[in-house]
Structure 1
Amino acid sequence: MSISLLMAVYNPIEYDGRVKRSANALAEICNIKVICPAQDFSSDCFNPDAFDVMRVLSPKIKIQALKQIFFWVNFIFQAIKLRPSIIYAHDYYLIFPAWLAAFMTNAYLVYDAHELIIPNQGERISKRDNFFYFLESRFIKSADLVIAANQERANIMGEHYELKKIPLVVRNIPPMPKQTLSDKLVFRLYEKLEHEYQEDIHIIYMGDINLDRGIGDLINSLKYLPMRYKCILIGGGPSESLIKLSHSQDIIGKRLRLLGPVPHNHIPDLLRQGDIGFLSYSMVGRNNIYCAPNKIYEYAQSGLPIISTSQEPIVSILRKYKIGELLPIKDKNTPLKIAEYIKKISFSNEYKHAIRKFLLDNPHKSEMDKLKDAINGVIN
């Protein structure tokens, strides 16, 4: 392989499925090195066979901006040392140092925009967000290839930044999961997942545990459902208010089970114990309104029909493939509507048949083939 590629991400690669997927795919056509911050702990590190990972140990200082600058300097130093053919930057944190590294090494620049940080007209944003928005707006046109996570984001970025080409769309579709844990081991590690009764229905939410994400409506829906319906929450976050709400309804530990953060490679085995997937995003900010969740594919790959808030990209998927139900926007009776949908889904097999069609039409390989073709196009 003659193409050398230096990929950078400003978080440990262990936590970023999009980075791992793109690196694994491009390793088939490039010699890849990925530079990222080191984890706070040494166990369960991701050690791929297909590419090399260089981890930067952050200095022990509290000022985040200085930590970021420290990583930028290390990234640029490695670029000068390795002189790759392509600099590939993940997310808005790295577009400026990636541009500088590409300029100093005469490399091609690829920018993968994980987030949509363009503010709505008249929207007030923080100084931090405004700083990164300025950097993206200043340097995005210098990229030889811009990548977005869905068509809606690509269209907005292309028009707003007046790009010569609409960004390439590479959706967040993970590969089909492989079973790594037996059911027996899953229940031993996560005893809260075990069905109390054979007829129990598990509704699984996976993500940030925060009432701002609409989890309160999911919890409140339990009062409209029989005791056999249980809610499983997977993820970390500020759960104090959630636990307080649960205690007020006397459901914590009985019908509501909090698993906390779990290793990424355990997720498919945990989802296998579920019956319905719950997907919820805020309607504030373009990044939420035009979200590009990989969870919709992870739920589907585990055979779980979905109940979701009505963000435009999710609406288009669920209306086309009928793999779940959409919640109305700003409805005071949302908990009751969630309960109705949970009952509807749990008594129907139609969603399972629709999921098979959805997965056939949306394979992981097609996205990775697009990415590889685009990288070859940059070089050629």
Structure 2
Amino acid sequence: MSENLLFLSFTTLDYDGRTKELLKLIDPYGSIHVVSCMVNEKKDLNKNYDIIKIKNKSKYLTVKNLINFFLLSVKTAFKLQREKKIDTLFIDNLYSAITGYLIYMLFKPKKLIIDCREYYIREQQTSRKLKVFCLFEELLIKNADIVIVANEERSQLAKQHYSLDKKPIVFENIRVIDSEATAAELKAYEEKYSKFIHGKKNIISTGGYSLHRLTLELLAEFKEIKDNANLVIVGGGTEKDKHEIDNYIEKYDLKNVYLLEKVLPQELKYLMQQSHIGVVIYPMHDDNNKYCASGKIYEYIDCGIPIITSENPPLKTFIETHEVGISNNHFSKAYDTITQNYQYYKDNVKLYNQTVDYSEYLNITYSKIMKELQ
């Protein structure tokens, strides 16, 4: 197929795992032009890019950057329309929705695809800003030829909530970190993380530190662990949350807790490979979190480590089906169970990892998309 696809994604492309996987998914489509944001402008030479350079990867979501993203998207769309035409418009994530809908109305592409990586329902939001983004996402969903979501539970919910004729296509967050550290980088990481990579059991959480994402609850459970273990939380967070988390750590005199900012993919992979257990936790106060779709599970599995998850339905189902860890909101109890039977869970992780044919999954999902587009 040799048509032209405009891919709009307001995210930090070099750090965003799902966006990278979406671009791999649609790679066979034809000529793909990407408008996005990047910190380090390392691009896939098979695609055309218009990029907003971002200095701070943790604070890209600003009004200024949103305006720049809109203006760059319009400029790119006009350029494509003059030179060729926009056969398909692909909108990736909620924060691209306003720009995406305006581009859709202005340029009337033949086909519209939207990926809803989150399951944000407007009525469940307390933020006015989020409600606005949700409204534009709803408009896109209603007009889209293809709606993509991240798990089967969300597909069923979305069909009912938006009164869709058919269930959205499921594209799970099945992914691995394919960036490998160089010898020089490995040496640097060993020096940088020498405090905790040797001699202790490392529990790693790669979802960042956040009160919303239950970091205090994780710390409370870590407090109950009797082993001389480390807790490593990677991904950064807000200064406000960090202040409260630091106060909690100081109040309870917690040792061996390390809060790290976002790191490059190869560095993240190194940290996971040095870990004993991976943690995935989500709250359950709304449908988006209750029916979470975590790619972290697959990253941990690829690195060969068992997993502790909260009891959200998709996580619990996956863990209990494949026995690659424990799903229990009492993380300290889950830790005890895994460590007492560690080789059993580690062997199951290895067995499951051998069943995952990632390339085939991309091919199957791409075929579903093309079938519906035609």
Residue 203 of structure 1 and its aligned partner are, at CA, apart by 0.7
- Aligned residue identity for 2:41: C
Amino acid at match of 1:136: E
Structure 2 CA distance, aligned partners of 1:302 and 1:273?
Answer: 9
Q: Which residue of structure 2 aligns with residue 331 of structure 1?
A: none
2:57 is matched with which residue? none
Distance 1:232 1:56, change over 3 A: closer
Q: Establish whether residue 48 from structure 1 lines up as the match of residue 49 from structure 2.
A: no
Q: How does 1:316-331 map to 2 (within 5 A)?
A: 316-328=317-329
Distance 1:48 1:193 in 2: 35
**Deviation sequence 1:57-103 (CA, Å, 0-9, x none):** 58xxx994464244223313312321222111101233344344345
The amino acid that maps onto 1:249 is Y
Give the Å deviation of 1:288: 0.7
Alpha-carbon shift at residue 377 of structure 1 (Å): 2.8
1:251: which partner in 2? 254
Question: Partner amino acid for 1:347?
Answer: Q
Q: Which moved more, 1:225-234 or 1:167-176?
A: 225-234
Q: Measured at CA, do residues 63 and 108 of structure 1 come closer, stay the same or move farther in structure 2, by a change above 3 Å?
A: closer
Compared with structure 1, are the counterparts of its residues 84 and 216 closer, same or farther at alpha carbon in structure 2 (3 Å cutoff)? same
Question: Does 1:352 find its partner at 2:368?
Answer: no
Deviations 1:325-371 (A, max 9, x none): 1124xxxxx3xxx2232122123211112213333444322432134
Decide which of 190, 195, 209 is 2:193's aligned counterpart.
Answer: 190
**Counterpart residue identity of residue 231, structure 1:** L
| Residue identity in the other structure for 2:359 | K
The structural deviation recorded for 1:31 is 1.7
CA distance, structure 1, for counterparts of residue 34 and residue 246 of structure 2: 39
Using structure 1 for the length normalisation, give the TM-score. 0.85
Matched, 1:115 2:118: yes
Does the Cα contact within 8 Å between 1:193 and 1:273 map onto a contact in 2?
A: no
The answer as to whether partners of 1:80 and 1:101 remain within 8 angstroms in 2 is no
Residues 1:128 and 2:129 aligned together = yes
Equivalent AA in structure 2 for residue 95 of structure 1: A
Give the C-alpha shift of residue 268 in structure 1: 1.2
Aligned equivalent of 1:215: 215
Number of residue-to-residue matches in the alignment: 358
1:202 aligns with 2:202: yes
8 Å CA contact 2:177–2:269 kept in 1: the answer is no
What TM-score, normalized to structure 2? 0.87
Give the structure 2 partner of residue 274 of structure 1: 275
Alpha-carbon separation, structure 1, partners of 2:69 and 2:308: 39
SS of match in other structure, 1:80: helix
Task: Find the residue that maps to 2:231 and give its secondary structure.
Answer: strand
Residues in 2 aligned to 1:245 and 1:262: alpha-carbon distance in whole angstroms:
24
Corresponding letter in the other structure for 1:13: L
What SS is found at the alignment partner of 1:213?
coil
Are the structure 2 counterparts of residues 7 and 188 from structure 1 closer, same or farther at C-alpha, using a change threshold of 3 Å? same
Q: Does 1:151 align with 2:144?
A: no
Amino acid at match of 2:363: D
Name the structure 2 match of 1:167. Answer: 168
Determine what percentage of the aligned residue pairs are the same residue: 24
* Residue 92 of structure 2, aligned match among 90, 100, 106: 90
SS of aligned partner of 2:305: coil
Once the two structures are overlaid, the 10-residue window that deviates more, 21-30 or 105-114, is 21-30
Match of 1:193, SS state, is coil
Aligned residues: CA RMSD: 2.5
